[in-house]
């Protein structure tokens, strides 16, 4: 059984089609990333899967439960870490977790033990009784992850889990996410604007635009689909080197510039030594060689034609507020 399975899932706002006949299957135990530019439909998809809003048509099964017929069971089996801070900074970490435990009917006999367990998991045991207002941004994110796990969900939704954090804290949060997935046997569904984050964490990625999945695969396969690596060779004889490289089957394209040769080649890391050997045989001095392999950002640009950027008013919190206003 899949952790998530959708069939022609669609959401329309009057004439706007936010999600268009989405058919998606996510295996249990995977970290699945959903990437897309502003207004692509990511938050709408997650909001439907989390039962915050209802679809216009189609269906979705989350952890074996229908998001319409069994919405209460869906909510009981998932955890959510919102993009915006949603813990109460006037309470301690322990009090926040206790309150959330009561909301999710965690039995009183195991509540305190479970609170201690998740605090240990995110390394906040020593700050359990400190007010959240004294926490750093990274500590708050870790507390929110602990809160999302308190009721033993089988699926955890992370909406921009490291947005606004400094690089070092981001890397720490990445470690926690990987640890959570392994220790809690979780399926994790995440959105992110950081390509390095998606590349590092996700087993599987879907790039969505205009409510439609453009491409889906592992990060490595997505990058390998792009044709060629770019190699910049700095030399005082770029024309002569270009002539010497012509006819090589790994060369896709060459462009001669002043004191450099720009190449687009297949398997750049493997064929770079051959370029150097040919230059040596022609008695051409190579000052430097730089290999620029495709990144996930290149994949994103290729399929959407857009740069990914931070979104405004396009997250779980804003979707929830719009749903409450009846939109």
pLDDT tens-digit readout, 184-219: 889 999 998 888 899 999 999 999 999 999 999 999
**51 and 68 fall within a common domain:** yes
Q: Is the pLDDT of residue 224 over 90?
A: no
Residue 310 token pair: 């931070």
**CA atoms of 122 and 118, how far apart (whole Å):** 6
Tokens 């900074």 sit on residue: 89
Proportion of the chain in helix, strand, coil states, percent, rounded to 5? 40, 25, 35
Q: Which residues is 253 bridged to in the sheet?
A: 264
* pLDDT surpassing 70 at residue 229: yes
**Which helix (H) or strand (E) segment is 78 a member of?**
strand 78-81
pLDDT at residue 54 is higher than 90: yes
Q: Who wins on pLDDT, 307 or 91? A: 91
Residues 310 and 255 in one domain: no
Q: Per residue in 32-49, pLDDT tens?
A: 999 988 888 998 999 999
Asked if residue 89 has pLDDT above 80, the reply is yes
Mean pLDDT to the nearest integer, 236-258: 93
What would the DSSP string read from start to end of 232-277?
EEEES-HHHHHHHHTT-TTEEEEEEETTEEEEEESSHHHHHHHHHH
For position 155, what pLDDT does the model report?
Answer: 96
Q: What percent of the chain has pLDDT over 70?
A: 93
Q: Which residue has the higher pLDDT, 298 or 95?
A: 95
Mean per-residue pLDDT, 215-238: 89
We report the CATH number of the domain holding residue 289 as 3.30.70.980
Same domain, 93 and 201: yes
pLDDT tens digits for 280-321? 999 999 999 999 888 888 888 888 876 555 444 445 445 444
Sign of CA dihedral 227, 228, 230, 233: negative
Q: What is the pLDDT of residue 317?
A: 45
Which band of pLDDT confidence, cut at 50, 70 and 90, is reported for residue 325? low
- Domain assignment of residue 244, given as a range: 227-293
pLDDT tier, 223 (very low <50, low <70, confident <90, very high otherwise): confident
Q: CATH number for the domain including 156? A: 3.40.50.300
Q: What percent of the chain has pLDDT over 90?
A: 67
Do both 247 and 148 map to the same domain?
no
Among 172, 112, 99, smallest CA distance to 142 is for 172
**Domain match, 198 and 58 both:** yes
* Dihedral over Cα of 218, 220, 221, 223: its sign: positive
Query: Is residue 273 located within the same domain as residue 186?
Result: no
206 lies in the same domain as 257: no
- Our count of domains for the chain comes to 2
Average pLDDT over residues 266-285: 92
State whether 65 and 105 are in the same domain: yes
Question: Mean of the per-residue pLDDT values for the chain?
Answer: 89
**Amino acid 19: pLDDT:** 96
The answer to which of 60-64, 121-125, 203-207, 232-236 has the lowest mean pLDDT is 121-125
The Cα–Cα gap between 38 and 314 comes to 7
pLDDT of residue 270 exceeding 70, the answer is yes
* C-beta of residue 35 within 8 angstroms of C-beta of residue 308: yes
Specify the pLDDT at position 173: 87
């Amino acid at each position: 059984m899949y952790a998530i399975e959708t069939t022609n899932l669609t959401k329309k706002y009057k004439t706007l089609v936010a999600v268009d006949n989405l058919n998606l299957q996510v295996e249990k135990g995977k970290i699945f990333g959903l990437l897309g530019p502003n207004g692509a439909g990511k938050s709408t998809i997650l909001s439907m899967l989390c039962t915050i809003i209802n679809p216009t048509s189609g269906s979705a099964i989350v952890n074996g439960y229908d998001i319409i017929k069994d919405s209460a069971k869906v909510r009981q089996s998932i955890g959510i870490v919102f993009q915006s801070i949603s813990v109460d900074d006037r309470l301690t970490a322990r009090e926040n977790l206790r309150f959330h435990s009561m909301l999710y009917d965690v039995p009183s006999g195991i509540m305190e033990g479970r609170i201690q367990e998740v605090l240990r998991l995110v390394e906040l045991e020593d700050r359990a009784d400190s007010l959240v207002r004294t926490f750093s941004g990274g500590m708050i994110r870790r507390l929110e992850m602990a809160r999302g796990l308190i009721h033993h969900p089988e699926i955890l939704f992370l909406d921009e889990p490291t947005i606004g954090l400094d690089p070092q804290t981001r890397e720490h949060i990445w470690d926690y996410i990987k640890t959570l997935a392994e220790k809690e046997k979780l399926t994790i569904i995440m959105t992110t604007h950081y390509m390095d984050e998606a590349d590092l964490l996700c087993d599987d990625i879907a790039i969505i635009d205009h409510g439609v999945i453009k491409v889906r695969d592992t990060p490595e396969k997505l990058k390998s689909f792009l044709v060629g690596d770019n190699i910049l060779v700095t030399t005082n004889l770029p024309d002569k080197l270009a002539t010497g490289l012509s006819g090589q089957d790994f060369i896709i394209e060459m462009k001669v510039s002043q004191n450099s040769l720009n190449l687009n080649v297949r398997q750049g890391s493997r064929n770079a030594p051959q370029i150097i050997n040919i230059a040596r045989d022609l008695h051409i001095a190579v000052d430097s060689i730089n290999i620029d392999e495709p990144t996930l950002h290149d994949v994103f640009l290729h399929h959407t034609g857009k740069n990914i950027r931070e979104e405004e008013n396009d997250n779980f919190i804003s979707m929830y507020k719009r749903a409450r206003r009846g939109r």
